[in-house]
Amino acid sequence: MLSYFEDLPEKEDLLQDSDCCGNGCTNCILDNKPRPSKRVLLAGKRNVILSYTKFRLLRRQTLESGSDGQVLLLHFAHAAEEDGEGAEDTVLDIPPGHHVMMRVGSLLRPYSPYWSDFVAKEFRILVKLQPEGPMSRHLQAVQPNDLLEFRGPIGQYVHEPQPAKCIYIIAQGVAIAPTLPLVRQVLDNEDDMSRLWHLVCARDLQHVYFREEMLEFAQFWNYRSCLYLPHQQCDSPACQEAGHCAQECPQLRSNLRYKETAKVSRLDASELGNHLNPAIPGQRVLIVAGDSRFQKIMAQFAMQSLDVDPANIYML
């Protein structure tokens, strides 16, 4: 079996300022050096993504193409043929809550996989293209078979199943993607008695991604979700006049599936307090996925309304 230090090439220890994407990520690569995990060490293999490695685009799917930009689903596989010998001694480990850095020339941008396969060395990301964004321009043009470079995993979140916790996961828009592995990690472990509240903020129902996955999660006793859709608007005259649907709008209700709960409002401190459930024991943990402004606001709301210890707040 490889020891920790054998698995960590010396050059990985020497992170330079230029390895940071400059986006002000909460979990900057300079403070969260990609390291081999226990899982990789136990497998006696090398994590193929610890240094920049080529991945081939297998699939590109456009999920949305509207006035507020395009959303792409990109599925990558390790390009073993580019890696020379030893590719069979590698795995791909991107733990839940961790992101990877994409590099195109000198341009670096972080992305958070929502699915990865340890043995097949594949992963998927959901990308919202930003108008005028340099990486967005590049991704707009990528096609299946193209090679792109990634490095990681970067992050600090670690979930301990015991003792059972009350975990609040708040996601904004496409940033719901990296929260899926966090939910699966709890639900897939029968011995994990932690409870999950998955609170998803989006413009409207059309901008809620992964509804199917959330419906699957809803079959578990320890999972609850709520959608916050402040701009939900159907074509009824009353909702058109109000600028958004009423909470009890029949069209909205008919578009919701079994066990889906939605509110036509923003998630604020008082609404967050409705999920407190003080009778349920367990340490409160908050995980926020979204842009930095959203993360800061939600952390403040949670400290006020859920009594979460700042030490148990994680920003993805």
| Residues tagged in the binding site annotation for FAD | 109-111, 126, 128, 135-136
Instruction: Identify any residues that bridge with 91 across adjacent strands, giving them in sequence order.
Output: 47
Binding residue for ligand FAD (CB under 6 A) from 44, 86, 134, 250? 134
Distance CA 69, CA 207 (A): 11
Binding residue for ligand FAD (CB under 6 A) from 111, 150, 197, 210? 111
User: x/- site string to ligand FAD, residues 66 to 105, per CB under 6 A?
Assistant: ---------------------------------x------
Distance CA 166, CA 285 (A): 6
Distance CA 113, CA 150 (A): 11
Near ligand FAD by CB under 6 A, which window of 73-81, 108-116, 212-220, 299-307? 108-116
Q: Which residue, 32 or 194, is less far from ligand FAD as judged by CB?
A: 32
Near ligand FAD by CB under 6 A, which window of 123-131, 183-191, 236-244, 256-264? 123-131
Binding residue for ligand FAD (CB under 6 A) from 112, 116, 232, 233? 112
Q: Which residue, 135 or 308, is less far from ligand FAD as judged by CB?
A: 135
The least distance separating ligand FAD from the CB of residue 154, rounded to whole angstroms, comes to 8
Binding residue for ligand FAD (CB under 6 A) from 95, 97, 110, 181? 110
Near ligand FAD by CB under 6 A, which window of 81-89, 122-130, 230-238, 251-259? 122-130
Q: Which residue, 22 or 161, is less far from ligand FAD as judged by CB?
A: 22
Phi then psi for residue 126, to 5 deg, are: -110, 125
Contact, 233 vs 241, CB < 8 A?
Answer: no
Distance CA 313, CA 316 (A): 10
User: x/- site string to ligand FAD, residues 289 to 308, per CB under 6 A?
Assistant: --x-----------------
Contact, 228 vs 202, CB < 8 A?
Answer: yes
Q: Which residue is nearest to ligand FAD (CB)?
A: 133
Task: Give yes or no for residue 264 binding ligand FAD (CB under 6 A).
Answer: no
Q: In which element (H, E) is residue 152 found? A: strand 147-154
Task: Give yes or no for residue 174 binding ligand FAD (CB under 6 A).
Answer: yes
User: Locate tokens 């952390």: which residue?
Assistant: 299
Closest to 179 measured CA to CA, from 99, 262, 257: 99
The least distance separating ligand FAD from the CB of residue 108, rounded to whole angstroms, comes to 9
Q: Which residue, 24 or 278, is less far from ligand FAD as judged by CB?
A: 24
Structure tokens that stand for 203 in this block: 């413009």
User: x/- site string to ligand FAD, residues 6 to 45, per CB under 6 A?
Assistant: -----------------x-x--------------------
Task: Give yes or no for residue 222 binding ligand FAD (CB under 6 A).
Answer: no
Closest to 294 measured CA to CA, from 178, 157, 170: 170
Distance CA 158, CA 162 (A): 12
User: x/- site string to ligand FAD, residues 228 to 247, per CB under 6 A?
Assistant: --------------------
Can you say whether the dihedral through the CA atoms of 301, 303, 306, 312 is positive or negative?
Answer: positive
User: Locate tokens 């828009």: which residue?
Assistant: 173
Q: In which element (H, E) is residue 272 found? A: helix 269-273
- Classified as helix, coil or strand, 240 is helix
Cis (ω within 30 of 0) for the bond into 163?
A: yes
Binding site for ligand FAD (CB under 6 A): 23, 25, 99, 109-112, 125-128, 130, 133-136, 174, 177, 291
